[in-house]
Amino acid sequence: MNPIVVAIGCLVALLLGYRLYSRYLSQVVFRLDPGEPVPAVEQEDGVDFVPTKPEVLWGHHFSSIAGAAPILGPAMAIVWGWAPALLWIVLGVIFMGAAHDFGALVLSIRHRGVTIGNLANLFIGERSRVLFLLIIFFLIWLVGAVFAFAIAGLLTKFPASILPVNLEIPIAILIGWWGYRRKKSLTIPSIVALVLLYLMIFGTASGRLWVPAEGSLLLSKDFWLVALMGYAFVASSLPVWCLLQPRDLINSHQLVVGLSALYLGFFLTQPEFAAPAVGELSALPAVFPLLFVTIACGAISGFHGLVSSGTTSKQIARATDARPIGYGAMLVEASLAILATMAVACGLWSGAAHGHAWDFLQAKIHAGEAGGVMPLPQVGEALMAFVNGSASFLSSIGIPDEIGMTVVAVLVISFAATSLDTALRIQRMVLAELGGIYRVKPLENRWIGGAIAASSVLVLIYADYDHGAKSLWPVFGATNQVLAAFTLLITALYLRGLGRKSAFYSIPAIIVMCITISAMAVQVLRDFTAEKWLVSGVGGAISVLTVWVAVEGGLAWRRGSKAHANQP
């Protein structure tokens, strides 16, 4: 089958999903009104609650949810074949993932901007609140470790990316000051910053600007793991206007330019599939249920509900903006996941030993084969395949391989770093909520909470560096989907309490929950058998919490929602 025809078919399906399904959810199911009150206006505090222009907030929201996950998941799941991966991405995002993000955002807007944890308390029961917050804590814990590994690996593999990525931070702070203190527009300065970013990429990749030399401390993965947690601690505690919003706006421009260039290159290359439509299923881990948790972001992700209710709902200036921001941004992420699938399935590889990115990945998984069973690719291997495959698309529009690889690496690092500090911002909010429940006053301090959030990720990373932290992706994916299922359930309970159609959320909630509990059981057993004590221990704890909250959710559904009938 022609990859271009397949890609166009997928993109058209996403467009139809936005035009038809999201409009129905907005107008009929949620009945959004541009005049209804929003927390950003009613509770404005200049730190977390800040009314924001929709184009700026779209950039923050998209940058926060995208990260490296919509690239990593498809690049790893390609071992089952490009057809299962693309089917799950397209159908999953239209009917589950984008609807999930949209629903979480609307519910938080209509409940004073509270997080999913507090919504669980309202709609499922008081006991579920703490259980839910603990699941969120575990998820953010895993997000921090997985994304820190991804960023550190890319910075050391592509040293030309170090200067552009780090200079973006002070530029973003300057733009944030300009916009918030001087009340100026961020659009033009953010576009200028993007041009400067690309000039720096050209300079470092071509050797005209400084790049760390071999043996430098800046090429140490351990250095970056620690530095990233220090950065995330500070970034997650600053007011959103200072760094979060301007940097995310720059990154959203980077995404639009990058995605456009990559898709243009993909179409001009006119590639052929190197990967099979369906992989060697008999020699691989079970496609059901593991495919559905390996590809989380890009299809459906519980982390997105945390972003929607944790930061985005506190900045949205008009309720009707929830549709393009909540539903629309998720569809753009799915287009990135589709591109990631194509980059590995069709992209060329500039190295002499590999003709295609798929050849590289296949060699890696065959090298790890044991007892006739092939493993999933490691995070670093999947990212390398994506970067090299994508660079081959850029080369078709005249961008040299070295510059193309740096452009893609900076793109991935920028989004992963955004997700990292957004995750830690949410984690300190979770700690503050737990502190309020158990009357531990220091946890409610944003600096103390931020320090605990950042240091706990480092503890997870170094607790079992070689065998534990590097194998966290499947556990992260399963935990992510657990949270997504509960968020869908809470939205269904809300709609049911208002006497509206809840099947749009209750059916996806049941599907995702069944898939995820199965995947969690399979993964914990595999990790325990392989003597990966850290991963299996974390997975086991999350499994217990999952079953407990699932029972609470079922009881809540049986007795009826606690939703307030006076909600819009």
- pLDDT 10s digits, 432-467: 888 988 889 999 998 999 999 999 999 888 886 765
Q: Which of 254-258, 373-377, 432-436, 439-443 has the lowest mean pLDDT?
A: 373-377
Q: What is the pLDDT of residue 470?
A: 58
Distance CA 41, CA 433 (A): 22
Backbone angles phi, psi at 52, to 5 degrees: -130, 145
DSSP letter at 355 equals: S
Terminus-to-terminus CA distance in the chain, angstroms? 48
Q: What angle do CA 8, 12, 16 make, to 5 degrees?
A: 175
> With contact defined as beta carbons under 8 Å apart, do 282 and 83 qualify?
no
Q: Nearest to residue 3, comparing CAs of 446, 358, 253, 413?
A: 358
Distance CA 101, CA 322 (A): 9
Q: Which of 39-43, 181-185, 339-343 has the lowest mean pLDDT?
A: 181-185
Per DSSP, helices labelled H in 464-530 are 473-497, 503-529
Q: What is the pLDDT of residue 180?
A: 76
Q: Nearest to residue 292, comparing CAs of 99, 92, 122?
A: 92
Q: In which residue are the tokens 């022609």 written?
A: 2
pLDDT band of 565, cuts 50, 70, 90:
very low
Distance CA 32, CA 223 (A): 47
pLDDT band of 372, cuts 50, 70, 90:
low
Distance CA 221, CA 209 (A): 22
**Residue 61: what residue type?**
H
Interval 104-122: pLDDT, tens: 999 999 999 988 878 888 8
Residue 116's contacts (CB-CB under 8 Å, 6 or more residues apart) are 104, 108, 132, 136, 305, 306, 309, 310, 483, 486, 487, 490
- For residue 532, give the 3-state DSSP assignment: coil
Distance CA 255, CA 257 (A): 5
Q: In the chain, helix, strand, coil percent, each to 5?
A: 75, 0, 25
Q: What is the pLDDT of residue 557?
A: 87
pLDDT band of 563, cuts 50, 70, 90:
very low
What's the longest Cα–Cα distance across the chain?
A: 67
Look at residue 501 and tell me whether its pLDDT is greater than 50: yes
Distance CA 32, CA 53 (A): 18
Most confident of 3-12, 136-145, 236-245: 3-12
Mean pLDDT of the region 148-170: 93
Interval 215-236: pLDDT, tens: 899 999 999 999 999 998 998 8
- Model's pTM, two decimal places? 0.90
> With contact defined as beta carbons under 8 Å apart, do 52 and 40 qualify?
yes
Q: How many residues does the chain have?
A: 568
Backbone angles phi, psi at 560, to 5 degrees: 100, 150
pLDDT, mean over the chain? 88
More confident residue, 505 or 374: 505
Q: CB count, 10 Å around CB of 264?
A: 14
Distance CA 103, CA 124 (A): 16
Per DSSP, helices labelled H in 110-161 are 116-123, 126-157
More confident residue, 164 or 45: 164
Q: Nearest to residue 419, comparing CAs of 161, 222, 135, 228?
A: 228
Backbone angles phi, psi at 316, to 5 degrees: -75, 125
List C-alpha distances in Å: 247 to 61, 91, 184, 307, 412.
11, 31, 16, 16, 14
Buried b (16+ CB within 10 A) or exposed e, 327-341: bbbbbbbbbbbbbbb
Q: Nearest to residue 77, comparing CAs of 286, 267, 333?
A: 286
Task: At 55, list the tokens.
Answer: 């184009």
Q: What is the pLDDT of residue 564?
A: 47
Q: What is the pLDDT of residue 524?
A: 86
> With contact defined as beta carbons under 8 Å apart, do 316 and 105 qualify?
yes
**Residue 326: what residue type?**
G
Most confident of 89-93, 119-123, 511-515, 555-559: 89-93
Look at residue 321 and tell me whether its pLDDT is greater than 90: yes
Q: In which residue are the tokens 């941004």 written?
A: 329
Mean pLDDT of the region 424-437: 87
Q: What is the pLDDT of residue 66?
A: 80
How far is C-alpha 22 from the geometric centre of its chain's CA atoms? 21
